[in-house]
A and B are shown apart, each in its own frame.
Chain A
Amino acid sequence: MRKFFFISPIIVFLCIIFIFFYLLIIKNDPSELPSVLINKNAPKFETLSLLSKKKFLYEKEFNNDLKIVNFFASWCVPCSAEHKYIDQLSKEKGIKVIGINYKDDPKKALQWLDNLGNPYSDVAIDSDGDIAINWGVYGIPETFIVNYNNIIQYRLAGPITKKNYDTFYKQIIKNK
């Protein structure tokens, strides 16, 4: 009984730490938030296109290719940081990227794309954040992989970085 009193704290502690490690490292990266939308249809929306100033052609953009959907804004610093990876995926790997411009000033957003380059096939304007709510976005940047059937396959909360780029690209290949 006495021995148990001395040893039990360290045993319980190690179990707890083990569970946390399992969750944090082995199981998943917390930025890969499980989304209720995984394996569900991509939510539809109607809005204007930032590039053409006309109606955003949802049916045309969400066609039978694999595509990634990237929520961004000109005021978002991590978005600027991840932009080169989005660019790389679009221009070098030839993957279709649809941008959704979240709560932004269209003028600034266009200026931003001019400065950093435009990897997007088209950009939907989400001025009041409604699209983001429907897609369950926590904060930007967030990027979704949507397959040929318009089913969401994967969600990355936070920026694409040097570290997670390879895993992310593997996810794209897996769903292609």
Chain B
Amino acid sequence: MASTLGNSALWLSFLFSVLQFIVSTRNNNTIIIFNRIAVTGLLASTLASFFLLMYCHVTSDFAVINVFQNSHTTKPLLYKISGVWGNHEGSMLLWMLVLSITNYFIFKLYNKNNYIFVSKTLQIQAVIIIGFLLFILITSNPFETMSVVPSNGLGFNPILQDPALAIHPPLLYIGYVGLSAVFSMSIATMNSENDAGTPWYTYMKPFVLAAWTFLTAGIALGSIWAYYELGWGGWWFWDPVENAALMPWLLSTALLHSLITVERKKSLQAWVLLLAILAFLLSVIGTFLVRSGILTSVHTFALDPTRGIYILIFIGLLGSYSLILFALKSKNFLGKNYFSFFSREGSILVNNLIMVIVCGSVFFGTTYPLIVEIFTSNRISVGEPYFNATVIPMIIPAILVMGIGPLLSWGKVDSKKTLKQISPSILLTVIIIIIFFLSYRTYNIPGLVGIGLASWIISNVLVTLFLNIRKESKKNNFTVTSTIKHFNSMIIAHLGVGLLIIGITGSSVWQEEKISRMKVNDEKMISNYNVVFKEINEVAGPNYLALRGSFWIYNQNNKIITVLTPENRIYPITKNTTSEVSIHTNLLRDLYIVLGDGDNDNGWVVRIYYNPLVVWIWIGVLVIVIGGLLALKNNLNILKLRNL
């Protein structure tokens, strides 16, 4: 019953999206009423079908194939709900839902002055929505039923039963879909050749900010999941699925910064229009790579060629149209005012180029195995060494520029003044590196470079903050307070990047790993800690059985710090086994223990990791996200204030 309703709601969404497409092609102000019907109708029917699928999952309606394959009566309620998007069909429906919500927000921008721009944007958005709806209806309908009703479901992949993973896909989808709005706006701008002089960049910016902020949070949650759940001791594996999210993130980072230049100086317009197209195309290509099974990764389960072909045709059409349009129209958006590289906009352009090159090399590394396969029919993986060797050297100059960029002025730069401004940060960075070197006596060059870069960013942030405050106190009649607020969101986000670099450096350069077979009462030293394997017990969880090891951790002074209890779980329903990591965190390091296979006679395979500074990765990302949200709020206020 619910499934039939859900299916009808999905078809209704399809009708509304077709209506939206037809209505938006008319450049007439009165048509807004029909557009309102289409947009709100689309939102309502998509919401209905999404919640009907959720209803099927919560009530365990096993006649629905999607519920049967992905759910089980013993599953906790939270995971029954997150199970809705924990599989391919449901996640596509979630994608659709986010699309129609974004669609609604674009519609809300409508006013007398911008109706051509907004309706053109809604038109492209309708094409994207129709594309994805047909994809769902033809190849991945979550409401398909079967005549035989099984008594119970096939359970759920227990490794996916994790709160971080439950909210990770929605966040990523908000990011990807936000980029779809940016894409549509870019097409709308080029299509109308911006006759009306609409400030398209001002409309684009909140969507870019939202997409970027949510992508950042989504990628971080994926990392958190990998770190806590996979039990491999690391948090980033250069897996195709991770790269698929990283590439749009890199481009939207570039986009975010060059949009500021467009807003201020009206330069780089063509470049921004191109980035907007590429960022969304890469999001969809990422989905294609993951869903088609063309690349095999730890994350993919489904192999379905028809889905791959459909998405590929869709990307092909969308990409060809937008990029041909770009080739034809973009010369109208070339700026006439050139600027020096040694300026605010110059530093932004340099970092933009680096981001694009990094993105290109990640794309190359991700698809290289496919290209090799054409010629040799071997499947290879370039993996971590390639990415570390290409990405890290390119990112280092970007970070150096990033530190100094906010201190440069727009247009012309007084180099003496700038040198004076950055001298405290140079001094501070050198002092920190020397202190660090003397207190830890480390000759590890990558480690020292990482610490140096982090202190370079953070000290520059402090200098910028100091200069801003001084400037404000000098001019008491300073009117545009929003400018200061805007700067503050940038300062917060950059501070987050500094903290993130500390975490990345610590955890990748000074990680220690001890893999050994341990029997009960065995001891193992790692860093300055002594790990004692005290006991191993059987325990029963709500839907699993587990072997739980007890490891007592002592510090140098032989004082007990904590007891870590990693588990080896078996889920009888799916016969899956997982290992639960046990971690002790403080601001300086994580102690991370994984219990592997074994028995009492031969001992158990135990992996112990000492991961310095990992927590700063999560803190750094949190700070970045706060900065992003603050900037988003400010930009929405600007839209309101200027009554755009």
A-side binding surface: helix, strand, loop or mixed? helix
Interface with A: B101-109, B165-173, B301-309, B596-604, which one?
B301-309
**Distance from B504 Cβ to chain A, minimum over Cβ atoms (Å):** 30
Q: Which residues of B contact A30 (CB under 8 A)?
A: 292-294, 303, 305, 308
* CB of B281 within 8 Å of the partner chain: yes
Total interface residues on B, using CB and 8 Å? 41
Assuming the A-B contacts A6-B326, A9-B274, are A14 and B303 also in contact, with contact meaning beta carbons closer than 8 angstroms in the complex?
no
* CB of A116 within 8 Å of the partner chain: no
**Distance from B300 Cβ to chain A, minimum over Cβ atoms (Å):** 10
User: What's the Cα separation between A129 and B154 when bound, in Å?
Assistant: 17
A-contact 0/1 string along B347-365, CB 8 Å cutoff: 0000000000000000000
Q: Which residues of B contact A77 (CB under 8 A)?
A: 65, 68-69, 154
Q: Which residue in B303, B308, B312, B330 is a CB contact (below 8 Å) of A17?
A: B312
Quick check: B303 and A6 within 8 Å, CB to CB?
Answer: no
A-B contact pairs, 10 of them (CB 8 A): A2-B331, A9-B277, A9-B326, A13-B281, A20-B288, A23-B294, A30-B292, A30-B305, A31-B303, A77-B69
Residues of A at under 8 Å CB distance from B?
A: 2, 5-7, 9-10, 13-14, 16-17, 19-25, 27, 29-31, 33-34, 75, 77, 103, 129, 139, 157-158
Assuming the A-B contacts A17-B319, A20-B312, A25-B309, are A157 and B303 also in contact, with contact meaning beta carbons closer than 8 angstroms in the complex?
yes
Quick check: B326 and A20 within 8 Å, CB to CB?
Answer: no
Quick check: A103 and B312 within 8 Å, CB to CB?
Answer: no
* CB of B113 within 8 Å of the partner chain: no
Assuming the A-B contacts A34-B377, A77-B65, are A24 and B274 also in contact, with contact meaning beta carbons closer than 8 angstroms in the complex?
no
* CB of B374 within 8 Å of the partner chain: yes
Q: Which residues of B contact A25 (CB under 8 A)?
A: 309
**Distance from A163 Cβ to chain B, minimum over Cβ atoms (Å):** 9
Residues from 272 to 318 in B contacting A, C-beta threshold 8 Å: 274, 277-278, 281, 285, 288, 292-294, 296, 301, 303, 305, 308-309, 312, 315-316
Quick check: B320 and A14 within 8 Å, CB to CB?
Answer: yes
Q: Which residue in A5, A10, A139 is a CB contact (below 8 Å) of B324?
A: A10
Assuming the A-B contacts A2-B331, A9-B327, are A29 and B305 also in contact, with contact meaning beta carbons closer than 8 angstroms in the complex?
yes
**Distance from A103 Cβ to chain B, minimum over Cβ atoms (Å):** 5
User: What's the Cα separation between A16 and B377 when bound, in Å?
Assistant: 18
* CB of B373 within 8 Å of the partner chain: yes
Quick check: B374 and A19 within 8 Å, CB to CB?
Answer: yes
* CB of B545 within 8 Å of the partner chain: no
* Total CB contacts across the A-B interface at under 8 A: 81
Closest to B329 in A: A6
User: What's the Cα separation between A23 and B292 when bound, in Å?
Assistant: 11
* CB of B323 within 8 Å of the partner chain: yes
Q: Which residues of A contact B277 (CB under 8 A)?
A: 9
Q: Which residue in B292, B293, B320, B374 is a CB contact (below 8 Å) of A13?
A: B320
Q: Which residues of A contact B605 (CB under 8 A)?
A: none
* CB of B575 within 8 Å of the partner chain: yes
**Distance from A50 Cβ to chain B, minimum over Cβ atoms (Å):** 17
**Distance from B234 Cβ to chain A, minimum over Cβ atoms (Å):** 24
Q: Which residue in B315, B323, B331 is a CB contact (below 8 Å) of A9?
A: B323
**Distance from B315 Cβ to chain A, minimum over Cβ atoms (Å):** 7
**Distance from B361 Cβ to chain A, minimum over Cβ atoms (Å):** 14
Closest to B360 in A: A12
Q: Which residues of B contact A10 (CB under 8 A)?
A: 320, 323-324, 326-327
User: What's the Cα separation between A103 and B154 when bound, in Å?
Assistant: 13
Quick check: A31 and B305 within 8 Å, CB to CB?
Answer: yes
Q: Which residue in B68, B303, B316, B374 is a CB contact (below 8 Å) of A22?
A: B374
Closest to A25 in B: B309
Assuming the A-B contacts A9-B274, A9-B326, are A34 and B320 also in contact, with contact meaning beta carbons closer than 8 angstroms in the complex?
no
Q: Which 4 A-B pairs have the closest CB atoms?
A: A10-B323, A30-B293, A6-B327, A17-B316
* CB of B77 within 8 Å of the partner chain: no
Q: Which residues of B contact A33 (CB under 8 A)?
A: 296, 303
**17 other contacts beyond A20-B370, A23-B294, A33-B303, with CB at 8 A cut-off?**
A6-B326, A6-B330, A10-B320, A20-B312, A23-B374, A24-B292, A24-B305, A24-B309, A25-B309, A30-B292, A31-B305, A34-B373, A34-B377, A77-B65, A77-B154, A139-B301, A158-B303
